[in-house]
């Protein structure tokens, strides 16, 4: 229902733009493309955990450029656009600009990740364990929230595996406009990437080098 409502509105307001959604797939081809995840954190939603959100991104020439992450159960929203920066608004109505942390040492950093079972099925598990043993603190905040905490400066590293484009696109502008970096675990982030590394930029090369080294 969420995706249907969004696609109908976009078809009315931006009829020449393409749309990619989790539930209904792709619609059309264009240099401007809206990428939608109607409920990111579906398992949380089903179980009554308030960590779920609607993710909306506008990709221009395959680059996510503008985005909104709306988490009604948390009473929060995050958004970003080039030239204006990244912002959040809480349930109290407070609006503030986002800025990543300045932690520069792995041993002082906080790492958030997703389901360990997904890591166990991948080649990255030994490297992920090495990273988790190196950092100061690990927590699985999960889904979109890990990345919003990174943009707010509360988390320093987020690493996830087995994602799709609609899980990722809306995160990119917010993280980058907050001063962070987001990529594939071992290289550049593309629309085909299924693994994601996001950091406060200061730690990015160190963590990516770890994932590139032999196990």
Predicted confidence pLDDT, tens digits, the chain (215 residues): 999 999 999 999 999 999 999 888 777 788 999 999 999 999 999 999 999 999 999 999 999 999 999 999 999 999 999 999 999 998 888 899 999 999 999 999 999 998 888 888 888 899 999 999 999 999 999 899 999 999 999 999 999 988 888 999 999 999 999 999 999 998 888 888 889 999 999 999 999 999 987 55
Q: What is the pLDDT of residue 209?
A: 94
For residue 94, the model assigns a pLDDT of 85
Cβ(139)–Cβ(102) under 8 Å?
no
Listed residue (70, 35, 73, 34) closest to 54, CA to CA: 70
- Say what the pLDDT of residue 66 is: 98
Report how far residue 178's alpha carbon sits from residue 200's, in angstroms, rounded to the nearest whole number.
Answer: 9
Tokens of 192: 């085909």
The pLDDT of residue 106 is 97
**pLDDT on residue 214:** 56
Q: What is the pLDDT of residue 140?
A: 93
Would you state the pLDDT for residue 215? 55
Q: How many residues does the chain have?
A: 215
Q: Rounded to whole angstroms, how far apart are CA atoms 134 and 55? A: 32
Using the Cα atoms of residue 22, residue 27, residue 29 and residue 31 in order, give the sign of their dihedral.
negative
Buried-exposed string 114-123: b where 16+ CB fall within 10 A, e elsewhere:
beeebbeeee
Structure tokens at 129: 């364990």
Q: What is the pTM of this model?
A: 0.94
Contact between 177 and 152 under an 8 Å Cβ cutoff? The reply is no
* Contact by Cβ (8 Å): 61, 44: no
Q: Tokens 């991948």, residue? A: 122
| Residue 174 contacts residue 148 (beta carbons within 8 Å) | yes
């Amino acid at each position: 229902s969420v995706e249907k409502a969004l696609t109908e509105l976009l078809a009315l307001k931006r009829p020449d733009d393409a749309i990619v959604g989790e539930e209904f797939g792709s619609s059309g081809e264009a240099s401007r493309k809206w990428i939608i995840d109607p409920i990111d954190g579906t398992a949380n939603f089903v179980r009554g955990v308030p960590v779920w959100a609607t993710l909306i991104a506008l990709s221009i020439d395959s680059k996510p450029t503008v985005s909104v992450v709306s988490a009604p159960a948390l009473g929060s929203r995050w958004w970003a656009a080039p030239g204006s920066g990244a912002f959040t608004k809480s349930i109290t109505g407070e609006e503030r600009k986002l800025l990543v942390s300045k932690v520069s040492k792995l041993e002082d950093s906080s790492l958030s990740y997703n389901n360990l079972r997904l890591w166990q099925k991948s080649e990255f598990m030994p490297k992920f364990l090495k990273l988790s043993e190196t950092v100061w603190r690990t927590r699985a905040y999960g889904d979109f929230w890990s990345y919003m905490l990174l943009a707010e400066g509360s988390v320093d590293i987020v690493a996830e595996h087995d994602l799709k484009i609609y899980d990722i696109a809306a995160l990119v502008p917010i993280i980058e406009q907050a001063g962070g970096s987001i990529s594939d675990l071992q290289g550049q982030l593309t629309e085909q990437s299924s693994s994601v590394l996001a950091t406060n930029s200061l730690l990015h090369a160190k963590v990516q080098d770890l994932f590139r080294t032999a196990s």
